[in-house]
Amino acid sequence: MIAPTNKKSEFIAAFSEAIENKTFIRISLGKFRGQGEPSKAVATLVLLKDVPHLKLVTSLARKDETKTFSINDGINHIKAKIGDTYLSATLFAASGDVTLTYSRKREPQLIKNKATLTSAPPVAEHNRAKAYLVAPDRPYLQALQVSDGEGRVKPSMQGKYRQICHFIEIVDGLLKETEAGESPTLSVVDIGSGKGYLTFALYDHLATALKRDCRVTGIEMRGDLVQFCNGLARELGFSGLSFEASEAGKTSAKSADIVIALHACDTATDDAMAFGITADANLILAAPCCQHELAPQLDEPIDGLKGLIKYPLFKQRQADLVTDAARALLLEASGYKVKVIEFVSTEHTSKNILIAAIKSATVDRDLARRQYQNLKTSTGFSTHHLASQLKDD
Ligand SMILES: C[S@@+](CC[C@H](N)C(=O)[O-])C[C@H]1O[C@@H](n2cnc3c(N)ncnc32)[C@H](O)[C@@H]1O
């Protein structure tokens, strides 16, 4: 640890002053000399319940860690890191940049420069800033054990948290492309809702962040999960959120603006898509999990495709691909514009496809129908659960 110097005190004084006179933009910390994995860190201002706080994001090789402090605690925390964990700190303020660096012999040097950034961005509201469409301290995330009591994502739940954030960002973007985008009321049906991570996240985003009058229904065949989720929805005061114990194809739900099915097993994805099409939903979102119906039907493709099914592993992949391509084409044939996007990184699961279907009057339904028939003939399958549900075989 390097003893505090006048130069360090001068740097910290410039830091505090920039916050006080509202010229502070950010502070970055580098030249890591601490223990453990090397990192860099950046501190910016955020509002938490309308009170400015300092948010420090530490970037490690594979993940970012975020801590939020009151202004005084944040300044003290950063002060302790400078000259110890990090040997370089730069303050970016509208009034000018100030850099404090330490030489190999730990001699401090203070450099003042003209401002690189001339205006401070508006202070991000912690819950609503783009990078924080889902703030980790949301009460439902704590109740679902994604975050701890202090609102920090638990190390074992980082992947789930990223999946939730990514899902909400995707829905938020797609919603704007649909007719329901501007509607003050929204109904959502989530089929195969499981423990409800994404259902709670979507409800919270629509009702709390977007302030929509929404009704979200999770459909789940496991009664214990339904009981748990209904209890939690009540506890959190989520009056528009409820869960129904039902098989995907037998739900009592009749209508929906948005239908989602995320990693619902096997043909539950097809049941969800069929429900969405029949209900004339504006948006259908499905991350397929598995489908076992097609693999045994792909033994007799046209000659040109025989090489694709010669090896069992490729045959299974071919079955997954044909299943999902057929789903996408059937959605188009039903009047939906389809986008196929990556849902979560393949680092976590190979089931990373999200099929997004947006109701559209301009999609070429006949072309999609022909393409579906061609796919069927060339790959050799005779029945597909979604087509059967739509009576389109
Ligand atoms: C892998 S979990 C996914 C949960 C949640 N959608 C998510 O992505 O976090 C799949 C859930 O779908 C439910 N499920 C599977 N088949 C179903 C069906 N036919 N009807 C209703 N629920 C079903 C399972 O019980 C399980 O809870």
Q: Where are the alpha helices (DSSP H) in 82-186?
A: 139-143, 158-175
Q: Which residues line ligand 1 (CB under 6 A)?
A: 192-194, 197-198, 219-222, 225, 247-248, 262-265, 268
Q: pLDDT tens for residues 265-308?
A: 889 999 999 999 999 999 999 999 877 899 999 999 999 999 99
Distance 268 CA to ligand 1 centre (A): 8
What is the CATH topology of the domain spanning 133-389? Rossmann fold (3.40.50)
Interatomic CA distance for residues 345 and 341, integer angstroms: 11
Distance 230 CA to ligand 1 centre (A): 16
Kindly give the number of the ligand 1 atom that is closest to the alpha carbon of 261: 6
Q: Is 85:77 a contact under the CB 8 Å cutoff?
A: no
Total residues found in the chain within this entry: 393
Going by alpha carbons, the residue nearest to atom 26 of ligand 1 is: 194
Q: pLDDT tens for residues 47-95?
A: 776 678 898 988 776 666 778 888 999 999 999 999 999 999 999 888 8
User: Within 10 A of 45 (CB to CB), how many other CB atoms are there?
Assistant: 20
Going by alpha carbons, the residue nearest to atom 10 of ligand 1 is: 264
Distance 326 CA to ligand 1 centre (A): 21
Residue 189, helix vs strand vs coil: strand
Question: Which residues in the chain show pLDDT less than 50?
Answer: 126-130, 346-347
| Segments making up each domain of the chain, as ranges | 6-125, 133-389
Instruction: Give me 346's structure tokens.
Output: 């393949």
Interatomic CA distance for residues 138 and 147, integer angstroms: 8
Ligand 1, pocket-test mutation among 141, 157, 217, 220, most atoms within 8 A of CB: 220
